Structure 1
């Protein structure tokens, strides 16, 4: 085989991988572009190909429907306990469901586009002529309201205590920043002198996980407590069944109960089963689910505080767990999102695995402006993908300069994201289609 023939065959293989037919009539003449073509006739085009569809056109063709409108009871809890009599619903996950019923089985649809990394860095020289996206969001379902700057390192927690007009953000720069929700200005900075591993709010209480302790503030009474007992960094916090749970670096889960008489938290239990750090916690009905660096998820009965099942479907660190209706969702550095459902015996098994190209860092669920459930997934490649449930069809994509570790739901369709640069962004679900470009 001569060199020219080999080159032609190689081009055919490349075009086949890209999904295009190896047709010379659809290729632009390289020499014509350079003003040097002397062939008459030439087998290639002496004109440019039609432009690719715009971002608006891509977004407008994306389906928004789904079969069921199951509800999140919140970003970290189930509306009810998994039904032990429920059959695995594997035929509903990962498929598009329109008004006319389920379509044939196929992979979930994905939005195909890339953001300009030079634009993210503020130095793209192509401007409007750049072939890549100059926008923080691809799609038409959310709008960027504002961004709050002040943290110097990755944001590890975002919280909105009830009854407060303040937004709180915690960072590995060892500080908690207090933001005025009316003005968007920083109203205060609390320096803790230790990296913040996580932060949540429950009622008026704000809980902050740091190495070897949990800090607790009552935002209404301004009282402050320090809960001792954790060994190493506290990576995860959750409140449920009248207790505060903390996942720690040594693999234990510590529990405290609030004593109203003394206005303090009393140690209640130490749940020991994981062999490595616990980095994710969620409560659903009377179950606690814990994700760990040991690649497992443990299921705990909250009445007995005993581990009743170990889920071993992941092959790397379990980064986040989320309860949605009768299902448990989990994500991992193994580049998968898994959906777990109860079998007839009451044990959880994987009913669907969503494979991705990048490690998955965090999950968060909310409803869009039309009360449809949406899953937000943060990835190692500095993006957040928004998926319809249960179809996993992609609704949109959020871009950031560095990876997002913290996503928090707010009132009135608001949600917040915090990235590795320390930037906090405020988003809102759009009531009408809109594309944010700046």
Structure 2
């Protein structure tokens, strides 16, 4: 079977399905067990940069200056969000159950769904907040002086974090639009963000990841070893996984900052990483989605955490590639090695 006709820009895992978007203007849904393409979503007129799945809806952002909402099951576009003056690079979804005030929580479920928000970041230096039901922009957040490359939400605290080519991370109140804090230590564009227990991880073109305490703004850790920009991040069980422009994924002990493993196999930049059932999914500019067995490193890390001691670096090791979805070929299965 055929897959994407150009490089993959992002992937999103939802239950037993993987969603990928591409420079070929399409989004695809895959069975993660068989590698079979289950659905194709067409409508964007340029590169699709980001996707996310919420409930039965798929959201996407594109170089065509729009974000779109699709029915996952029907492969049908149901909403379009227009208003950015340039590319839509990043997305976040805020559920109605998070934005409704306490006195409104007795509303019918259909009314709650209509209150969902989509947040978009663009190369026009703005962040926009949209009503999903109508496609109307209800708020534009101004402050960045460069393209907004990444967004992440802390829903319970109603806070939005945005990273930009202006080298800063900014915190916003998602309800009022007020800018709360600016994080300024990076020496390059802030490309990706991850939020875990009020610890904010930021990956940058300066080849580092930094960990910040959200409440104080203090930087408490810096993760080095990348040979190129840090393009994507994911935290799992005390391990910080990173993807880089040097075509490698890496695993760091999140507490100590020690590099534990390097995953080699991609030919170009890793655009996205996801973790599901102790498998690491990496999507790359080379047009492939690779799946790595990380049970060994997770098991070792859990043992170390139980002993309450910092993990010791094991140097550069090749990861176990268990499956690969190629944009033309499909699925290749490899045996585990070394785990």
Q: Same fold (TM over 0.5)?
A: yes
- Shift in alpha-carbon separation, 1:237–1:206, aligned structure 2, 3 A: same
Corresponding position: 1:374 with 2:239: yes
Name 1:36's counterpart in structure 2. Answer: none
Q: Is the contact between residue 9 and residue 272 of structure 2 (CA under 8 Å) also seen in structure 1? A: yes
Q: Is the contact between residue 237 and residue 245 of structure 1 (CA under 8 Å) also seen in structure 2? A: yes
Name 2:273's counterpart in structure 1. Answer: 407
Counterpart Cα distance in 1 of 2:202 and 2:33: 35
Counterpart Cα distance in 2 of 1:280 and 1:333: 13
Q: Is the contact between residue 154 and residue 418 of structure 1 (CA under 8 Å) also seen in structure 2? A: no
User: Structure 2 matches for 1:16-415, cutoff 5 A?
Assistant: 150-161=3-14, 166-191=17-42, 192-210=44-62, 211-220=64-73, 222-224=75-77, 225-240=79-94, 241=98, 242-259=116-133, 264-284=134-154, 285-342=157-214, 346-367=215-236, 372-399=237-264, 400-410=266-276, 412-415=277-280
- Shift in alpha-carbon separation, 1:428–1:216, aligned structure 2, 3 A: farther
- Shift in alpha-carbon separation, 1:223–1:294, aligned structure 2, 3 A: same
Counterpart Cα distance in 2 of 1:421 and 1:270: 35
How many Å apart are 1:294 and its aligned residue? 1.0
Q: Is the contact between residue 11 and residue 20 of structure 2 (CA under 8 Å) also seen in structure 1? A: yes
Partner secondary structure for residue 20 of structure 2: strand
Partner secondary structure for residue 136 of structure 2: strand
Name 2:107's counterpart in structure 1. Answer: none
Stretches of structure 1 that go unaligned for 5 or more consecutive residues are: 1-147
Stretches of structure 2 that go unaligned for 5 or more consecutive residues are: 99-115, 301-317, 322-333, 335-339
Q: Is the contact between residue 321 and residue 331 of structure 1 (CA under 8 Å) also seen in structure 2? A: yes
Counterpart Cα distance in 1 of 2:292 and 2:131: 34
- Shift in alpha-carbon separation, 1:336–1:167, aligned structure 2, 3 A: closer
Q: Is the contact between residue 332 and residue 361 of structure 1 (CA under 8 Å) also seen in structure 2? A: yes
- Shift in alpha-carbon separation, 1:355–1:429, aligned structure 2, 3 A: closer
Partner secondary structure for residue 250 of structure 1: coil
Q: Is the contact between residue 161 and residue 219 of structure 1 (CA under 8 Å) also seen in structure 2? A: no
- Shift in alpha-carbon separation, 1:302–1:188, aligned structure 2, 3 A: closer
How many Å apart are 1:182 and its aligned residue? 4.2
- Shift in alpha-carbon separation, 1:181–1:378, aligned structure 2, 3 A: closer
Counterpart Cα distance in 2 of 1:223 and 1:379: 33
Larger radius of gyration: 1
- Normalising to structure 2: TM-score of the pair? 0.74
Corresponding position: 1:429 with 2:256: no
Structure with more of its chain in strand, by fraction: 2
Counterpart Cα distance in 1 of 2:226 and 2:20: 30
Q: Is the contact between residue 294 and residue 320 of structure 2 (CA under 8 Å) also seen in structure 1? A: no
How many Å apart are 1:353 and its aligned residue? 2.3
How many Å apart are 1:426 and its aligned residue? 2.5
Residue-by-residue CA offset, 1:91-113 (whole Å, 9 max, x unaligned): xxxxxxxxxxxxxxxxxxxxxxx
Structure 1 stretch displaced more, 186-195 or 166-175: 186-195
Higher relative contact order (CA closer than 8 Å, sequence separation 6+): 1
Partner secondary structure for residue 256 of structure 2: coil
Residue-by-residue CA offset, 1:379-406 (whole Å, 9 max, x unaligned): 2211110112212222321111111011
Q: Is the contact between residue 274 and residue 281 of structure 2 (CA under 8 Å) also seen in structure 1? A: yes
Alpha-carbon RMSD across the aligned residues, in angstroms, is 2.5
